[in-house]
Amino acid sequence: MEIILLERVENLGQMGDLVTVKPGYARNFLLPKGKAIRATAANREKFDAERAQLEADNLAKKGEAEKVAAKMEGLSVTLIRAASEMGQLYGSASSRDIAIATTEAGYTITKTQVDLNNAIKTLGLFPVRVVLHPEVAVEITINIARSADEAAEQTRLGRAIISDIAEREREEAAAAAAEAATRVAAQDDEDMTGGDDAPVEEAPAEEAVAEEAPAEEAAAEEQAED
């Protein structure tokens, strides 16, 4: 389907561009969102007549968005979530959650302005892009923690606090493995030296020889008497 863009669309074109897209993309997104119109003869004529005003309106909106972006620069938004000791969330943090938290922080946005491909499912600090205008975006930080204190600690560290827990668990696992290896080595040494201390089993054989000697002497005496 051939359409006329009414604003800049990422990876597609600028305002006024005549582009061809898949019908589903146009009908389900571009047209209902007011980002484009069908490229009919009547619409082309209408766009040309209104282009100057559309561009002026767009420029004004862009300027306002840039002001908001400047204020949002460096913004960190905290989401408190329940999670396991390994940092896995019991649920997730979606673009809707981020939009609500950002709005509560004083910057009104909708979930469609949050550029998030997949919901966040772990604790930590996450850079998220917020689109304020087709030509203006700002990156904010989403701090997901189990408590306000944990969120503050993550901010101080500049990374997920759960990484400290994971590192500690790795160190404990390595120490346990080293201890186990030491025990195995000690057991092997004990098994090797244990053979030298074992009692000699030849004693019974000597006793047997000693018992045979009197028996042979008795037999010789009987033969002599005969």
What confidence category does residue 121 fall into, taking pLDDT thresholds of 50, 70 and 90? very high
142 token code pair = 């989403």
Question: What pLDDT sits at residue 174?
Answer: 72
62 within 8 A of 87, measured Cβ to Cβ: no
Return d(Cα 102, Cα 106) in angstroms, integer.
7
- Model confidence over 151-163: pLDDT tens digits? 999 999 999 988 6
Mean pLDDT of 198-216: 53
Q: What percent of the chain is modeled with pLDDT above 70?
A: 78
Prediction pTM value: 0.68
Q: What is the 3-state secondary structure of the chain?
A: CEEEECCCECCCECCCCEEECCHHHHHHHHCCCCCEEECCHHHHHHHHHHHHHHHHHHHHHHHHHHHHHHHHCCCEEEEECCECCCCEEEEEECHHHHHHHHHHCCCCCCHHHEECCCCEEECEEEEEEEEEECCEEEEEEEEEECCHHHHHHHHHHCCCCHHHHHHHHHHHHHHHHHHHHHHHHHHHHHHHHHHHHCCCCCHHHHHHHHHHHHHHHHHHHHHHHC
Return d(Cα 135, Cα 153) in angstroms, integer.
35
Q: What average pLDDT does the chain have?
A: 86
Which stretch of 9-23, 35-49, 109-123, 200-214 has the lowest confidence by average pLDDT?
Answer: 200-214
- Model confidence over 23-38: pLDDT tens digits? 999 999 999 999 999 9
Task: Look at 55 and 213; give whichever has higher pLDDT.
Answer: 55
Mean pLDDT of 120-140: 97
